[in-house]
Structure 1
Amino acid sequence: SWFTSDLEQLEDNGFAVLFNSIGSGMMLIFALISLSLFHWGLAVVTVLVAVMLILTPKWFQKQTKEATSNLSAANEAFTTTVQNLFKGFEVFYTSNAVGQFVKRIKVASDALSDVKVSYRKKFSFVQLCISLLNFIGKISVDVVAGIMVFAGMISVGAFTAAGSLTFNCFASLEQVVQQLVQLKSIHVYFDKFNSLEADSNLQPDNSSLQQTLSLRDVTVSVNGHVIVQPVTFTIEKGKKYALLGDSGTGKSTLLNFLAGRNHEFTGGVILDGKPLSKEQIVQLRNITAYNPQKNHIFNATVKDNITLWEDRPFEEESRQMGLNQFTNAQEVVSEHGTKLSGGQRQRLALARTLLESDKVLLLDESTANLDLESARSIEAQLLQNPNLTLVIVTHHFFEEHRNLFDEVIYLGKEKSL
């Protein structure tokens, strides 16, 4: 939505309107100059009325910004809903519930339609108010011009010509004011995109963990709901950690937090001896490499999928994950990895993560789709590498690997394995 609907709104109500307003502004200036040639008083009165009209967008700024913000949120919600439904279309199809699929699409469309109608109503009301004020302003100038005729300050011919110029002047003025309303409303989009900009002052001095990352009584929330209960542990460089717990205890949520992707937390986070604030939690992104449960496979070569189009060596990581057994570096895999099995996708994603071997590797069920022997072999290989710092979430804990972990961290009630 941000790169489709929002950018379209920026183009239509931002840049296009900006250039149109420049043209309207030039027409207004030329009309004012022409009026001043008949009598400077006409130009002064017109300027005073114009200033009052130009200030009117401030009266509607709150309503138009709110309407624009609601439209942006509705577009985002609609896009998310439709994408989610289409990704799950096969489920509807195999369950003979295509009618429900269509119904959900219609519900999402109706919700977006309601917001768009509300948006258009608010802007139409603003335009109506501007047109009314503009009409009153033009009548006021005409009245002043009539008084000047009776006072002998201008001729009847000048009054007629001034009326035509006044019409052009206020037509341009109405366009300028309406365009100002539109331009002020799109600040909502700039605020959204500016929120994505990284603050260079929040970046860490180093791009990898130097000594330790400590959590002290940390709770992690998602949308205001506490998912991870208070947890305390320390990650030391070069050590290996297993993160265990029942389903729903927040293992994936905690990894997401350690990856710097969530700043809803309480407690203390200390990176190499320096406490991090909620705003600074983004620094964790620079010292971790996160391998989530679901990894995206690009419609590109195996090499580009691993290196993300960067010119860097990858052969060793590819060999470690056994990619050469079923593919080659220059083979193109299709979008979403449809040419690869689930296990092969995980091998490729792990190779991508291993390129960041100097960071803390956060592996979330990263071997779940492999057969047991392959999963056991790859996990042992990673755990026996002294250069790696690992935090592994797994539902299938291999007892024979217990001694390869420096610590086993339990979320929720601790269990004996």
Structure 2
Amino acid sequence: MATALPVADAAQVRRYARALARRHPGALACALALHALAAAAGLAGPRLLGDLVEGVSRGDRSTPVDAIVLAIAGFVVAQSVLLRFAHIASARLGERVLAALREEFVDRILALPLATVERAGTGDLLTRTTRDVSALSRTVRLAVPETLIAVVTAAFVLGALLLVGPLLVLPCLVAVPVLVVGTRWYLRRATDGYLRENAAYSDITDGISEAVEGSRTTEALRQQARRRARTDADIRRSYAAERYTLWLRTVFFPLTEIGYLVPMVATLVVGGWFYLEGWVNLGQVTAATLYTQQLIEPVDRLLAWLDELQVGGASLARLLGVATPDGPDAARSAPDGSRPSPVDGAEPAGGLGSGRVAVREVTFAYWEGRDVLHGVTLVPEPGEKLAMVGPSGAGKSTLGRLLAGVHTPRTGSVTVDGRPLTGLPLTELRRHVALVTQEHHVFIGTLRENVAMVRPSATDADLRAALAAVDALDWAEALPDGLGTRVGAGGHPLTAAQAQQLALARLVLADPHTLVLDEATSLIDPRAARHLERSLAAVLEGRTVIAIAHRLFSAHDADRVAVVEGGRITELGSHTELLARGGSYADLWRSWHGPRP
């Protein structure tokens, strides 16, 4: 069962939002200034109209009606122009912030320990990279600028209302308790509600992905009903989560409607009473009523976008949570960049050292209380070719992934030159150890780009040498455009065997100290695979190679063979030595190859 990636807490989200604002002080100040000027221009109309009404009510024939009307029109035009440029400035700022968010999210995804990605499954990551990014995009592009506009406009309108007459602000206070209580009630529930909604959507995506990818297996085992039941259950949870957030909105929005409509009525009634008492004049009541009406629009906008801000905040928390340390495999992602202290006589940091990888007294469990490795110790010699063999489910691949730094041991240590593997930055780790499995990905791009991705500075001669080392140069040069042929989705199709050779060519070009090959040639014809492994051995002379395979010719060609059974290394020695012992390895060899050594 997949384990959801962590979610950042509210404090982390606020810190990140403040940091984003500090990155663009000039652009933010410009956008706010333009909105402030637009709001100020919009305040002139009600004040001028109030003065006009007051002059007419007193019978003052000297009131410049034409000039006041022209001034009001001028301020309306000025406000329109300022709003245009204010919206452009806000949009530009939003796009810059959104671009930075996307780039950082990609960096966070690529820096995740592989074990964390595997535990999370595809559904959670896919939802965060699509639905959450889309929701955050809407928030950054629309909700944040609209909210800033609403806040600035409301502040200016309230200031203008105070200048017209402090007493006329009192009717607006009638709405404060309704809005404060309603908003607090909503905010306490909305964030958790939207987080549950997004998590439920992740479950749906994960379930559908599994159903599509495993459709043939499902059909062969007649498990269609079970898959449908899983999908129905996921949809029910998603429906319940969305229904909850919908209920929040159906309660909150009517409250806000009351909260910002009551003040205008109260201003007319109370303002009329104040006028009859002689505390204010008719022009002040007129201006105050218009300002109160103007106040409705930014408050309405603010409360309307508040819901979108909650959606965006939940999405941002999920995106930031991708980089939040979670469990033992997250050591490499520590926020302060710290690494565990060297052990076992580590060499000083600064050089790569000899690249000696060592596993000492390691236990490991995918699930608590169910160890799959039990006190394993294995120390390959630098430059040695070590083969790991054993029955399926014995723990070979798990041990290989520990050697490659993918997983963190429950107890014991896995080190390179005495330094814990999982404490190394990912880029440095891959200079020490690289893992190649039978699962390979061909990226969209040219063949040249696919091979050179591990070393972008590599020349074509380097790429051809790497391809030749894995017996791939002939078919690579036979492609329509040679190294420039586009491959991957929509490009020239590669066979599974060619994709595997491509992955091995990347490995040759990366040139790490230690290579862990987990059935890396399983998709290639056995005879060609043996030739390929011997070619690789010649090219990688001096590098430590740990080969995990069911094909025992890899063991025959190795310097030493480790037999893994039941999560333990039961035998360790050369091919000849282990055959002479007549133990588990000898039995495996005879069953695979026959009685002849």
Is the structural similarity TM-score above 0.5? yes
Residues 315, 170 of structure 1: alpha-carbon distance in 2 compared, 3 angstrom cutoff: same
Residue correspondences, number: 415
Q: How many angstroms apart in 2 are the aligned matches of 1:331 and 1:3?
A: 29
* Deviations 1:224-258, CA, capped at 9 Å, x for gaps: 57463233333554333323343234433443444
Matches within 5 A, 1:180-195: 180-195=306-321
* Deviations 1:137-182, CA, capped at 9 Å, x for gaps: 6677667646644653223563354234223313422432443453
- Residue number in structure 2 paired with 1:4: 130
1:348 CA drift (Å): 1.7
Residues 27, 160 of structure 1: alpha-carbon distance in 2 compared, 3 angstrom cutoff: same
1:67 CA drift (Å): 2.0
1:39 CA drift (Å): 0.3
Local SS of the residue matching 2:484: coil
Assess if the C-alpha contact under 8 Å between 1:33 and 1:43 holds in 2.
Answer: no
Cα root mean square deviation, aligned: 4.0
Assess if the C-alpha contact under 8 Å between 2:161 and 2:168 holds in 1.
Answer: yes
Q: Which has the higher strand share?
A: 1
Assess if the C-alpha contact under 8 Å between 2:355 and 2:432 holds in 1.
Answer: no
Residues 223, 331 of structure 1: alpha-carbon distance in 2 compared, 3 angstrom cutoff: farther
Residues 395, 348 of structure 1: alpha-carbon distance in 2 compared, 3 angstrom cutoff: same
Local SS of the residue matching 1:355: helix
Assess if the C-alpha contact under 8 Å between 2:366 and 2:372 holds in 1.
Answer: no
Q: How many angstroms apart in 1 are the aligned matches of 2:207 and 2:269?
A: 57
- Residue number in structure 2 paired with 1:294: 439
Residues 279, 387 of structure 1: alpha-carbon distance in 2 compared, 3 angstrom cutoff: closer
Assess if the C-alpha contact under 8 Å between 1:14 and 1:182 holds in 2.
Answer: no
Residues 294, 131 of structure 1: alpha-carbon distance in 2 compared, 3 angstrom cutoff: same
Local SS of the residue matching 1:238: coil
Matches within 5 A, 1:100-139: 111-134=237-260
1:363 CA drift (Å): 1.4
Q: How many angstroms apart in 2 are the aligned matches of 1:262 and 1:84?
A: 23
Instruction: Indicate which of 201, 205, 223 corresponds to 2:337.
Output: 201
Instruction: Indicate which of 251, 265, 268 corresponds to 2:413.
Output: 268
Residues 102, 33 of structure 1: alpha-carbon distance in 2 compared, 3 angstrom cutoff: same
Q: How many angstroms apart in 1 are the aligned matches of 2:184 and 2:353?
A: 50
* Structure 1 range deviating more: 113-122 or 12-21: 113-122
- Residue number in structure 1 paired with 2:487: 333
* Deviations 1:39-75, CA, capped at 9 Å, x for gaps: 0243477489669946965544342221222233233
Instruction: Indicate which of 293, 316, 325 corresponds to 1:167.
Output: 293
Q: How many angstroms apart in 1 are the aligned matches of 2:338 and 2:228?
A: 46
1:344 CA drift (Å): 2.4
Q: Which has the higher helix share?
A: 2
- Residue number in structure 2 paired with 1:219: 363
* Structure 1 range deviating more: 329-338 or 405-414: 329-338
Instruction: Indicate which of 479, 493, 503 corresponds to 1:349.
Output: 503
Matches within 5 A, 1:35-74: 35-43=161-169, 46=172, 53=179, 57-74=183-200
Instruction: Indicate which of 431, 437, 453 corresponds to 1:308.
Output: 453
- Residue number in structure 1 paired with 2:517: 363
* Structure 1 range deviating more: 227-236 or 61-70: 227-236
Local SS of the residue matching 1:314: helix
Q: How many angstroms apart in 2 are the aligned matches of 1:266 and 1:255?
A: 16
Q: How many angstroms apart in 1 are the aligned matches of 2:369 and 2:270?
A: 65
1:110 CA drift (Å): 5.4
Residues 349, 225 of structure 1: alpha-carbon distance in 2 compared, 3 angstrom cutoff: farther
Instruction: Indicate which of 142, 162, 176 corresponds to 1:16.
Output: 142
Assess if the C-alpha contact under 8 Å between 1:261 and 1:285 holds in 2.
Answer: no
- Residue number in structure 2 paired with 1:240: 385
* Structure 1 range deviating more: 47-56 or 212-221: 47-56
- Residue number in structure 2 paired with 1:389: 544
Assess if the C-alpha contact under 8 Å between 1:323 and 1:348 holds in 2.
Answer: yes
* Structure 1 range deviating more: 211-220 or 355-364: 211-220
Assess if the C-alpha contact under 8 Å between 1:260 and 1:281 holds in 2.
Answer: no
* Deviations 1:259-300, CA, capped at 9 Å, x for gaps: 444457443343422346x77685645532221221112243
Assess if the C-alpha contact under 8 Å between 2:402 and 2:414 holds in 1.
Answer: no
Percent of pairs with identical residues: 22
1:322 CA drift (Å): 0.9
Q: How many angstroms apart in 1 are the aligned matches of 2:203 and 2:147?
A: 32
1:6 CA drift (Å): 0.9
1:355 CA drift (Å): 1.6
Assess if the C-alpha contact under 8 Å between 2:161 and 2:169 holds in 1.
Answer: yes
- Residue number in structure 1 paired with 2:207: 81
1:319 CA drift (Å): 0.4
Q: How many angstroms apart in 1 are the aligned matches of 2:434 and 2:254?
A: 55
Question: Which residue identity is paired with 1:28?
Answer: A
Local SS of the residue matching 1:176: helix
* Structure 1 range deviating more: 195-204 or 123-132: 195-204
- Residue number in structure 2 paired with 1:33: 159
Residues 142, 284 of structure 1: alpha-carbon distance in 2 compared, 3 angstrom cutoff: farther
Local SS of the residue matching 1:232: strand
Q: How many angstroms apart in 1 are the aligned matches of 2:254 and 2:367?
A: 40
Q: How many angstroms apart in 2 are the aligned matches of 1:200 and 1:317?
A: 37
Q: Which runs of 5+ in 2 are unaligned?
A: 1-126, 324-332, 341-348, 478-482, 572-583, 586-597
The alignment's TM-score, normalised by the length of structure 1, stands at: 0.80
Assess if the C-alpha contact under 8 Å between 2:431 and 2:511 holds in 1.
Answer: no
Question: Which residue identity is paired with 1:379?
Answer: E
- Residue number in structure 1 paired with 2:468: 319
Assess if the C-alpha contact under 8 Å between 1:50 and 1:173 holds in 2.
Answer: no
The alignment's TM-score, normalised by the length of structure 2, stands at: 0.59
Residues 110, 196 of structure 1: alpha-carbon distance in 2 compared, 3 angstrom cutoff: closer
1:342 CA drift (Å): 2.7
Assess if the C-alpha contact under 8 Å between 2:182 and 2:252 holds in 1.
Answer: no
Question: Which residue identity is paired with 1:229?
Answer: L
Q: Which runs of 5+ in 1 are unaligned?
A: none
Is 2:557 the counterpart of 1:398?
no
* Structure 1 range deviating more: 108-117 or 78-87: 108-117
Q: How many angstroms apart in 1 are the aligned matches of 2:353 and 2:173?
A: 63
Larger Rg: 2
- Residue number in structure 1 paired with 2:534: 380
* Structure 1 range deviating more: 299-308 or 38-47: 38-47
Local SS of the residue matching 1:187: helix
